[in-house]
Amino acid sequence: MKTVLFCAALLCGGAALAATPVAKSSAKAAAKPAAGGSSAELAEADALFAKKSYPEALQKYTKLANAGNVMAQQHLGEMYFYGEAGSIDMDQAAQWFQKAAAKGNAVAIASLALMKQREARRADLDYWISKYDGSDVRTDEYRCPSPRFPTMSKVNEEIDYYGGKMKAWEACHNRWVKHLNASLPLTKRIPDDITKLFTKDESDKATAHLKEVAERLAEDTKIAGRMVIADFDAWRAGTEAYVKEHNEMVKNAPPRDPDDK
């Protein structure tokens, strides 16, 4: 059973991992039989929870909590917070934490404080869960305007100019691709003080959303690259065809009459 409600969720490798609860505190292990139920009944509820028999654990914790057992109240609050009670219910979680906190339960007191932090940072949580768009990854340094090419070029100066434009774009494009790859997974960009406030469900949603953003950035990069390369190849083909035709015309042109001025 969890004895600390909020542990930092680890977001790595593009997947959100639930925070690993700390071991049961020695204070709990040494707790005296409390009002509202015996230590044996609480241990039975804990065992059911450990086996992930959540409906049965919920029933026993609820009975003990209603009878005034402070540890059961704390654990019941955690079950509603994490969704182990069947669904996430922050109101129910707060109510049970408040009951336990009123009796001096340190975990419940800390949990209520962190729930207030979640409320204060709601906009920040929602930003990473559903509104982040990756604009902070593609800064001006990595914006690569697509060069425009004419149908063909007929003089060396123009050929050199557009060849240089293509090389400059290619260098910028490659820098951006390298930077994007180094930025993945995008979950690394979530601030630690926000990460620690996520529930498991929110952590999973944020991970899924950021994965979609990363995929969209990658796909947009591929499409933009293909368009530039297609335009460049068309220009190069047109230019090479013109140069070949021009060289053939020069090669097959009749000798110039020396007297022709």
What is the mean predicted confidence (pLDDT) over 186-196? 96
What pLDDT is recorded for position 152?
A: 95
Residue 87 pLDDT > 60, yes or no?
Answer: yes
What pLDDT is recorded for position 237?
A: 96
Domain positions in the chain? 10-120, 133-252
Other CB atoms within 10 Å distance of the CB of residue 239: 20
Let me know how long the chain is.
261
Ordered DSSP codes for 49-88: HHTT-HHHHHHHHHHHHHTT-HHHHHHHHHHHHHTTTSS-
Strands (E), the chain: 10-12, 15-17
> Nearest to residue 183, comparing CAs of 126, 142, 155?
142
- Superfamily of the domain at 10-120: Tetratricopeptide repeat domain (1.25.40.10)
Q: Tell me how far CA of residue 54 lies from CA of 17, 65, 170, in angstroms.
A: 20, 15, 56
The gap from C-alpha 239 to its chain's centroid, in whole angstroms, comes to: 46
Distance CA 59, CA 38 (A): 15
What is the mean predicted confidence (pLDDT) over 139-155? 93
69 vs 254, which has greater pLDDT?
Answer: 69
Q: In whole numbers, what is the pLDDT of the chain averaged over residues?
A: 85
34 vs 50, which has greater pLDDT?
Answer: 50
What pLDDT is recorded for position 258?
A: 64
Distance CA 143, CA 128 (A): 23
Q: How confident is the model at residue 23 (pLDDT cuts 50, 70, 90)?
A: very low
What pLDDT is recorded for position 248?
A: 82
Q: Tell me how far CA of residue 148 lies from CA of 13, 144, 220, 228, 258, in angstroms.
A: 38, 12, 18, 8, 44
Residue 8 pLDDT > 90, yes or no?
Answer: no
Q: How confident is the model at residue 77 (pLDDT cuts 50, 70, 90)?
A: very high
CA dihedral for 11, 13, 17, 19, sign (positive or negative)? negative
